Structure 1
Amino acid sequence: MIMRSATCKDALMPSPSPYTRPVRILLVEDHDMVAEAICLALERSPELKIVARAGSVASALVDAQRHQPDVVLMDRRLPDGDGVTAIAELLALAPDARVLVLAGEGSASVAARVAEAGGAGLILKARGLRELEEAVHRVAAGEVVFSQDLLGDVLDQLTGRAPGLGANLTPREREALHLLGEGRTTAEISDQLGVALNTGRNHVQRVLEKLGARSQLEAVTIARREGLLT
């Protein structure tokens, strides 16, 4: 994957910006075609400028420190880590930046994690490039941007009125879930936890019940969606 800094201004020639300085954006996306489409779409606006592109958390941290962007547009899933988890490190290196997370799918739990980490919002890739451009403008202006269908649940979780999915998992069940995420069998999970096979099966079964999953694969899928697994 590309891990480089680049701008797109040679691809499009936007009209002069009416602002003294355009909003400077660090785009963090590991898929080249997606990154290029976003880059071209955002730089149609003379008020926005991509100052760097990164394809991993590691390169994003380097570019954030080097360029001190106004907005970091951060893909949630990257080859070397979770974009939400990286928010605190990004803000430590570029304290004036606003971090907007871009995700393929979202949930109230993931959105709440973004807010708790100091992120400025979460937008779904399915929303389209025009809505993404608007979200970047709003975040740069100091707003917090979350999808309307997630916002109420996010506020409930942040104020403690509604526990997130998986909040009732015990420490042992969380261990079992992480082992499921690594592709371990029930026998391997039991061995890793140092419990009898039947006890291991019970842990896995309770994980499925608490996540509302019908299979181990579905449990892992739900856990990843909810940010319980990175």
Structure 2
Amino acid sequence: MPEGLARPVRVMLVEDHAAFHRALATLVDREPDLAVVAQAGAPDEARRHAASVGFDVAVMDLGFPDGDGEALIGELRRAASGAALPILSNSLDPTNLKRATEAGADEVLPKFAAPGEIIGTIRRLGSG
């Protein structure tokens, strides 16, 4: 990276729906100040990445066929104590959202949020 430029915000994506996962990775990677450093389609894969890859923001889903997203929030929080953990979720059920924030999620956005809102959230949470 050229001298004088800040390091990009390092983003890990944790999403089990392949099409959404690819679209989100493309969206993030188009931003010069953001970089996807890891992608996981399941909680076990996210745990492996968290142990080996430094990240500033882990954008994740809550629902996984083979694991509990709420438990994963706590695990990622312990693996990277300074990282931000925004959630993108299909479910806007207030009970699920409350449990996610109680588990340590920094913010919850609907998956249908505008791309600019998602990028803005990643940027804001990753910068501070």
- Fold in common (TM above 0.5): yes
Measured in 2, the distance between the counterparts of 1:80 and 1:138 equals 30
Deviation string 1:155-178 (CA, Å, 9 cap, x unpaired) is: xxxxxxxxxxxxxxxxxxxxxxxx
Aligned residues: 126
RMSD, aligned α-carbons: 1.7
Does the CA contact (< 8 Å) of 1:111 and 1:121 recur in 2?
A: no
Does the CA contact (< 8 Å) of 1:87 and 1:118 recur in 2?
A: yes
If you compute each CA radius of gyration, which structure gives the higher value, 1 or 2? Answer: 1
TM-score normalised to the size of structure 2? 0.89
After TM superposition, give the deviation of residue 80 of structure 1 in Å. Answer: 1.3
Deviation string 1:98-155 (CA, Å, 9 cap, x unpaired) is: 111110121332222222112111110111322111111122134xxxxxxxxxxxxx
The partner residue of 1:52 within 38, 45, 49 is 38
The answer on 1:23 being equivalent to 2:9 is yes
- Number of the residue aligned with 1:133: 119
- Relative to its length, the structure with more strand (as a share) is 2
Measured in 1, the distance between the counterparts of 2:81 and 2:66 equals 22
Measured in 2, the distance between the counterparts of 1:22 and 1:115 equals 26
Percent identity over the alignment is: 34
Deviation string 1:192-223 (CA, Å, 9 cap, x unpaired) is: xxxxxxxxxxxxxxxxxxxxxxxxxxxxxxxx
Measured in 1, the distance between the counterparts of 2:104 and 2:59 equals 14
Q: Which blocks of at least 5 consecutive residues in structure 2 are unaligned?
A: none
- Number of the residue aligned with 2:51: 65
Does the CA contact (< 8 Å) of 2:9 and 2:127 recur in 1?
A: no
